[in-house]
Amino acid sequence: MKTEYNYWKSTVSNAFKTHDIPVVDADLVAHEVLKNGIGGWKKVVSAFGRGILETDGEVDRPKLGQIAFSNPEKRQLLNRLLASYISFGIFWEILKLLWVKMDRWMEPIIVVWVDPET
């Protein structure tokens, strides 16, 4: 689901990358946790059914998006199912930066948060 919200997140992320500033992208982490067989995939398929899968077993993200974003309860369910996986994935990406001594580039840590309501 492409929105102006996504556009601005990508704009900021790309600006950092242009200057070789490491970026931990929660959207990329969210894509990873929905890969076939991963814990997030299992929970989402269990909750939303196999009808959200493509023929190769991967989640049909546009189909899942249509279901989740057209119904506030289903969107909240999706968020609850994936929040811990995404949080852990972000934490893991930060740890990897520390392990390769990228911590010298990590001051300050900047979090870009876009409120889709504004």
Is pTM beyond 0.95 here? no
Q: Where are the domains of the chain?
A: 22-105
Q: Domain 22-105: which CATH class?
A: alpha beta
Instruction: For residue range 24-47, list pLDDT tens digits in order.
Output: 888 889 999 999 988 899 999 999
Distance CA 43, CA 62 (A): 18
The set of residues, in sequence order, having a beta carbon less than 8 Å from that of 44 and lying 6+ positions away, is: 34, 52, 59, 64, 78, 81, 82
Instruction: For residue range 81-106, list pLDDT tens digits in order.
Output: 999 999 999 889 888 877 776 656 55
